[in-house]
Structure 1
Amino acid sequence: MLYSQVPAHEKRRAFRERLASGELLRFPGAFNPLSARLIERKGFEGVYISGAVLSADLGLPDIGLTTLTEVAGRGQQIARMTDLPTLIDADTGFGEPMNVARTIQTLEDAGLSGMHIEDQVNPKRCGHLDGKAVVDEDTAVKRIRAAVDARRDPDFLVMARTDIRAVEGLSAAKDRARALVDAGADAIFPEAMRTLDEFAAIREAVDVPILANMTEFGKSDLFTVDQLRDVGVNIVIWPVSLLRIAMGAAGRALDTLRDEGHLTGLLDQMQHRADLYDLLDYERYNHFDTSVFNFTIAKD
């Protein structure tokens, strides 16, 4: 009932232990707290919180317009609704190294299990668009060092994302990944890898967990979990998939409503009221205070 009963530090510790085991962890992207609960219900290992999704939720493009307050607030809403670890996109850290330090502590306080900071310049662009620019190695390293130095819970995961592959090539990506690990990064997110061989090359370059971003309509092919596991990937994210599917379904439903004046033909595509109530755990609220929640859930 209400929020997760698992403290944030325990989620972080469990996340670290599973990463250390070498298994591949699947983190679908949640677009709201309810979808995070569904991800847990369906048996995944973690929840990803995408900066692109947070921006889109506000009706904004993913170009660095969101603030730390907005990101941390939405991250907290999602993290507290699930027992799973949550990994959040912190863009470029929302400023210079001192801002990065504040970002880390704010996200810790919000109950997140980890975050990633990228090496793009401000304002950033979506990682799978052309025209990106990255900062020099010294600046990228300072961001990670500030993050590592600022965190108070050593189990809070500091992941470094590098976008340099699309700008300077794979060799530069390997060099940048090594430098970020030397700066203290717990894991590496090599953005916009094009082939399995490129993921394998990053795997060989560093001795920390690596993440694969399986976003649709981007520069990477959409590899399967088994394919990524075989080349040594440790975490896979599908950052915007659930939002895209939900918005696609919503658009089709609105077309039907406009053209036919009703949605009767789409009832079998909707989440049933009983399933929603089950996901929301209405029964436990009912038991907690029957003077307020005094209804019953239909079984059909």
Structure 2
Amino acid sequence: MVSEKDALVAAAVFVFVLISHGEGIIGGREAEPHSRPYMASIQVPEGENMKHECGGFVIADQWVMTAVHCLPTGPNGRKVVLGVHSLSEPEETKQTFDILELYNHPNFSESNYDNDIALIKLDRPFNISEAVKAVEYLRADGTNPGTDAKVDTAGWGSLDNLGSRPDKLKEVVVEVVSSTRCRRSDYFGRKFTDNMICAHKVCPDPCDQPYKKEDSCDGDSGGPLLYNGIAVGITSNGGKKCGQIKKPGIYTIISHYTEWIDNTMALQPAATQDQSS
């Protein structure tokens, strides 16, 4: 018969295993403060305070790119904070903005998160500093990273599937998974479209050995996927749990939306997207 003490020890060991093998941006590292000056924290009111909800990134004066699913109820009191490293500490580098306009891609699909790209126009231009700068993004004539290419992403998202969140920005290097693999029925099947890249810490197929799980997770959505310092994707979706072998992180391919981005930032939103742009 198991004693109460033994039961408590077993429970503690179980919790430790869960935490030590947690998934999300783990195995990554804390970013050097303000080494990614384009990062944005989209925050939602929670009582008298603001809470980090999603990521985003600065692409031009007064403009932040993110994912449609990050703002399910529209601006609704949300704010965008730039120049952030620690979410909780009072940093002189921080600049806080209201959302003047939110532009969601008109062809966004809730069923599989296709066309998961949105643009936020801030209520005023930001002040350029060492902690706040725009990042270049890949346009239609650029070349996206191929299979096995090393790409990187960052965010304040969950450290594990228990929902614990970091206070300081984390970053991780992952690898692009082939589109063919991500279209397999045991991965994402038909939900995976030509507008998506999937990436994570790759384990050989078949994967029958322990490996260090590295992935983006809840709260990282809207942040950038970068290849050689250029934003090529937007953190979008993946599995219900982060870090699963057959459910890599999914990222929206930015270069497929050049025309829509240009039209939107010119305040002439396109009614539909030309997939060839």
The structure whose Rg is larger is: 1
On whether the aligned pair clears a TM of 0.5, the verdict is no
* Bigger proportion of residues as strand: 2
TM range (shorter): under 0.3
Q: Which has the higher contact order (CA 8 A, sep 6+)?
A: 2
Output the TM-score relative to the length of structure 1: 0.24
TM-score of the two chains, using structure 2 as the length reference: 0.26
Greater share of helix residues, 1 or 2?
1
